[in-house]
A and B are shown apart, each in its own frame.
Chain A
Amino acid sequence: MRYLPKSPADRAAMLNAIGARSIDDLFEPIPAEYRLNRDLKIPRQMAESEIVDWFRERSRENGDGHATFLGAGAYYHYRPVIIDSLISRGEFLTAYTPYQAEISQGTLQSIFEFQTMICELTGMEVANASMYDGSTAAAEAVMMAVRLTGRRSVAIARSVHPEYREVLATYAFHQGMPTATVPFAENGRVDMKALEKAITAETACVLIQSPNFFGTIEDVETIAEIAHGNGAMLVVSIAEAISLGIVEPPRLADIVAMEAQSFGVPLTFGGPYCGVIATREAYVRQMPGRLVGQTTDRNGKRGFVLTLATREQHIRREKATSNICTNQALVALMANIFMTVYGKVGLRELAKHNLAKTAYAAQQFGKQSTVLFDAAPRFNEFVVQTSEDPYAINSRLLGHKIVGGLPLKKFYPELGNASLWCCTELTTRTMIDTAAGLIAESERSQATSDEEASVEQVAQ
C-alpha cells in the first residue's frame, strides 16, 4: 500500500523488538469471536490513475459545465486562484488545531486576522474562529441568547432560510425551547405587527436573516427596536457574505451568525462551508467555538494563542457553552484570503457587480412575469412568479446548460409557482437574456392556452 512507509523487513524487526511472534499477537485484546477473518467487502485497491478516472466520471454526471441561477444559501462566486495555492501548503493543510502555540503561529495569526475582518464587516466587536456552517451558527447563536437572557423561547422569521429553521428546530426541540414563527409581509420583509405579537416575556431572542431567504434586505433597525423594547436579543443571520460589501451590517444586532461560503469557498454540493458567530465584547464568555487572542512571549514578542478555553468542552465538559471541537479552520483560511484579496475597495466593487446583474435580471424577468417583493431593497436574489410550473421552465432551460432558479413550492407552498433566482458577478447578460426569453415564451404560451380555454368555454 503506497501510503505505508514500511518494508516487510521493517515490520519483522519491529515485531521482534516488541517481542511479538506475529501481528496477531497485538490484536489479542480483541476477543477472537469478534475478529474479522475475511476481507472487507469494499472495492479493491485502486491505482491513483483509476481513482482520478472514477471521480472524473462522477464529476461529468454532476452538472459539469452548467451555468447556474441558484443561490439560496450557497453562492457561486469567482474564487481567486491564490486561495488554493496558499491553502494547499502542507503547513496549513496538514496541521491540527493550534494547541501548541509556539509551532502554530501561522494558523493562529491568520485566525486573528480572520476574526478582525469579520468584526470590521459585521460591525460586531468580537468574532470566533468559525463554526460548522451558517445553519448551525444560527442555532448556536440562539442557544447563546437563551443563556445570556435567562429566557427560554425564540421568535424566528419565516423569511430565514428554511433549512436553517429546520436545524434550529432540531436543536430547539430537545432543549424544550418553544419557538414562534413570524410571517413575512407583502413586501417580503418581516411582518412587524406579527413580530410584536410573537414576542413574549419569555422570548430570549428574535432570529432574522438579512438579506433574507428571498434576497430582500430586512428593516433591521425597526426589528431591533421591537426586540430590545421587549427585553429580547436580536440575532441576525447572514447567508450571503458578499452583501456586506454594499449593505449596511446589522450594527444593532446582539449576535451575528453568518455563513462565509461566499468568501472564496467552493460550492462542493453543500459543504464544507464556514459558519461564524460575532457579538459584543460583553457576551464573549457565552460565545461557543474557538477564539484566538493576542499576547506576548517571554521576550515580550507579540504572539497569538487559543484563549478563553474555559468556555469549551475539553475543559468544562458538560458545563461548556457548546460541544463544538473541530471547526472549519481551513475553510476560514479560504475566507480570510478572499477578504484580503478584495479588501476595502474590492469587496464593495464586487458587491456592486452583484447588485447590477441582479437589478438587470429582475428588470428583464419583470417584463413578462411578476417579480415579487419589489417594494423592498434586495441584494443578489429575487423571487419570480410565473404562470407555468417553474420545474417545467427549468427543464427547458437545462437544455441550454443553464440551471434555473429554485422553485419555492417545497418550502413556501403559499407562493405557488414562485421561484428564487440569484445573480452574482459570474452571471452573464447572455444567461440572463436566455432565461428571461424562456420565461417570456412560457408566459405567452400560458396566456394563449388560457385564451383558448376561455374561447372553448364560451363555445360550450
Chain B
Amino acid sequence: MSKHMTRKATRHVNQNEGLIFEKSSPGKAGWKLPPLDVPEVDSTTLLGAAERKHLGSMPEVSEIEIIRHFTRLSTWNYAIDLGMYPLGSCTMKYNPRVNEVVSRLDGIANGHPYQPEKISQGALRIIKTLSDCLVEITGMDAITLQPAAGAHGELTGLLMVRAYHDSKQASRKKVLIPDSAHGTNPATAAMVGYSIENLKSNSAGIVDIGVLEAQMTEDVAALMLTNPNTLGVFEQEIHKIADILHAKGGLLYMDGANMNALVGKVRPGDFGVDLMHLNLHKTFSTPHGGGGPGSGPVAIKKFLEPFLPKPVVKSKSDGTLAFDYDRPQSIGRVRSFYGNFGMFVRALAYILANGPDGLRQTTEDAVLNANYIRKGLEGTYDLPYASSSMHEVVFSDKLQVKKGVRTMDIAKRLIDYGFHPYTTAFPLIVPGAMMIEPTESESKEELDLFIEAMRSIAQEVDEDAELVRTAPHSTRVSRLDETAAARKPILRWKPEV
C-alpha cells in the first residue's frame, strides 16, 4: 500500500461497497405511504390461495444507504461525462441535459398511452414533428418510430421486406450480408426466417461488385448494408449496388448505425436505399444509459408504406392528429403502444438544438475528428485498409502482436490513461481490430491527449510488454475471470444458510 493512502479507509473510487442485500436488516425502511383514505382490506379474504405470504430476501434499507450505495457504484463506471469514449460503431456523443429536462415535463412523463386523443395532441405532435425531421434527414418518404432499438428496427425492416415480396407473390429465401456487418444483421435475418448468404468484401474493405453480381439472384430478398460500413468506409459504388439489387427485384436495406457520418451531407434516400433504420441513441444523442433504452425508427420509400407497423400517425382535416389503425397490409405490431416515446422527445430536442446548420457541422466535426486520429496514429499502428475514413477509423494490432500484445491488452491499458477503450476485435474482417469512433463531441485537446496515450502505449509495448498485457493497473478491480464466470454461472445473490 502506498504511503499516501490512509490506513482506515480506502480511496473514494475504491470504496468497498457490498451488495445491497448485505446492508439489509429487518426494520429499516426507505419508504412511507400516506394513510389509506378507503377502508382497509383483508388480503387473505380477497385473494385466498393467490395471496403471497413472504417476499424472500428482498432488501430492507434506509434512504441514505440507497443514495450512498448507488452513488458509490456510479463512481466505478466510466462515462462520456468523464472523458472520451471512442467505442467504434456506438457513437458515444454528448447527451444534452435539456433533453432530460423536457422528457420529464408533467404532461410528457405522465402521459398514458391510452388517454383520449383529444388530450394526447402534444405527444402526437412530437411524434409527427420528429417523423418529419427524420424523413427529411434520411431522404426517405415515411417512417415508423415503433421499434425499441436498432436490432428491433432491423427486424421491423426485414418483416416489411418480407411482406412486400409476399404481396408480389414472390417468396424469396435469402438475405445478403457483407462479412463486415454487425452481428445483429444475420441474427435478425434468421429471426425473420431468411437464410443468410455472406458477401465477401474486396481488398478496399467494401462490397465487391463482381461478387455481388454473382450472388444476386431472384431468390434474394434484400441486401443489408451498413454505410459507411464498419470500417468507417463509404460504399462509393452504392448506386451500382442499388442497381444490381433492383434489377433482380431485391431491396437495399441500410443499417443506419453509422448515420453520424452522413447527416446533413448526404441522404440515403438519394443514393438508392429502399429502407433503413436509425439509432436515436447513437446519431441523435439519447443517452446510452449503460446499455439502453434505445430507439430504432425505420424510414422507408413510398412503395413500402402499406406495410408499416400499426398504428401510424395521420393528420385529420381539422388539423388535429390521430392514430390510424386501419392498415390492412401492415406487418402488425412489433411492440406494445407506440415505441420508446421518451427517446423521441430527447432526439427531437437534439434536432431542434442543432437545426440544419448545427447538424451539418456536427457531421463534419465527427469526420474531422476521426481523420485527425487516423493521421496521428498512422505508422504507430497498422492500418489494414487504406480507404478514406469517414466518422471512424479501424487499426489493427498487427505491429504489437509481434510482442505478444493484442488489441484487448492495448484497450485495457488505455483505461490507465483515463480513456474508455475503443471497440475491440470488430469488424471480423480485421484480425485484432481496434475500431475508434471519437464523435464530434471531442475537442482538439482531448484528441491530442488520446493520440499521445495511444503512442505512449505503443512505446510501452516495445519496452515493457508485460505492463500492457496485465493492464489495467489503476482500476478498482483488475482483469476479471470471464471463463470462470461462464463455466459455473453465478447469476444472482443468495443468502447464506
Contacts and interface: CB of A to CB of B under 8 A. Distances in A.
A43 B409 CA distance: 46
Contacts of A188: none
7 contacts: A46-B352, A76-B110, A244-B52, A295-B480, A343-B30, A344-B59, A403-B119
Interface string A248-281: 1100000000000000001111111000000000
B226 to A, nearest CB: 14
A394 B287 contact: no
Interface in B181-235: 182-184, 186-193, 196, 233-234
A359 interface: yes
A445 interface: no
Interface stretch (A78-86, A200-208, A228-236, A450-458): A78-86
A214 interface: no
For chain B, the bracket of interface size reads 35 or more
Nearest to A11: B368
Contact of B288 (A63, A70, A95): A95
Given A246-B47, A268-B341, A403 B115 contact: yes
Contacts of B24: 343-344
A305 interface: yes
A63 B20 contact: no
Interface string B87-125: 100101011101011111111111111111011111101
B46 interface: yes
Contacts of B107: 58-65
Contacts of A91: 74-79, 81-82
A100 interface: yes
Nearest to A2: B353
B329 interface: no
Contact of B184 (A60, A117, A119, A313): A313
B461 to A, nearest CB: 19
B173 interface: no
B368 A36 contact: no
A112 B491 CA distance: 7
Given A92-B74, A305-B485, A66 B355 contact: no
Given A63-B115, A92-B77, A86 B38 contact: no
A14 B368 contact: yes
Interface stretch (A24-32, A179-187, A191-199): A24-32
A429 interface: yes
A301 B293 contact: no
A337 B70 contact: yes
Given A11-B368, A31-B236, A61-B122, A347 B58 contact: yes
Contacts of A60: 107, 122
Interface string A320-350: 1011111111110100010111111111111
A414 interface: no
Contact of B492 (A126, A174, A296): A126
B30 A346 contact: yes
Given A15-B368, A271-B343, A342-B31, 20 more contacts: A42-B133, A43-B352, A63-B107, A70-B115, A86-B67, A89-B71, A103-B475, A107-B77, A120-B57, A132-B335, A134-B336, A171-B191, A268-B111, A297-B480, A307-B482, A343-B29, A344-B58, A356-B40, A394-B116, A428-B37
A390 B71 CA distance: 47
A244 B50 CA distance: 11
Nearest to B191: A323
Interface string B7-21: 000000000010111
A95 B357 contact: no
Given A54-B352, A76-B112, A268-B111, A5 B41 contact: no
Contacts of B129: 43
Interface string B44-68: 0011111111011111110100110
A293 B105 contact: no
A54 B349 CA distance: 9
B270 interface: yes
A45 interface: yes
B477 A297 contact: yes
A62 B109 CA distance: 10
Contacts of B364: 23, 26
Interface in B436-458: 440-444, 446
A17 B368 CA distance: 11
Contacts of A112: 19, 491-493
B287 A93 contact: yes
Contacts of A119: 492
Interface residues of A, number: 198
A57 B102 CA distance: 11
Interface string A161-174: 10110110111011
A174 B164 CA distance: 13
B336 A163 contact: yes
A459 interface: no
B468 interface: no
Interface in B402-436: 411-412, 415, 420-421, 426
A61 B112 CA distance: 13
B120 A62 contact: yes
B478 A429 contact: no
B61 A98 contact: no
Contact of A103 (B76, B115, B390): B76
Contact of B52 (A72, A247, A315, A343): A247
B249 to A, nearest CB: 19
A337 B47 CA distance: 28
B122 A58 contact: yes
Nearest to A78: B33
A19 interface: yes
Contacts of B293: 132, 271-272, 326-331
Contact of A403 (B112, B352, B443, B491): B112
Contact of B353 (A45, A343, A345): A45
A68 B113 CA distance: 11
A174 B333 CA distance: 13
Interface string B353-364: 111111111101
Q: Which 8 pairs between the two chains have the least Cβ-Cβ distance?
A: A330-B289, A270-B337, A45-B355, A90-B81, A62-B122, A64-B107, A59-B107, A270-B113
Nearest to B491: A126
A292 interface: yes
A108 to B, nearest CB: 9
B479 A297 contact: yes
Contacts of A155: none
A298 B479 contact: yes
Contact of A270 (B77, B341, B365, B371): B341
A7 to B, nearest CB: 9
B388 A330 contact: no
A343 B59 CA distance: 5
B392 interface: no
Contacts of B30: 80, 340-343, 346
B266 A34 contact: yes
Contacts of A272: 148, 292-293, 295, 340-343
A303 interface: yes
Contacts of A56: 105
A98 B33 contact: no
Contact of B55 (A27, A320, A347): A347
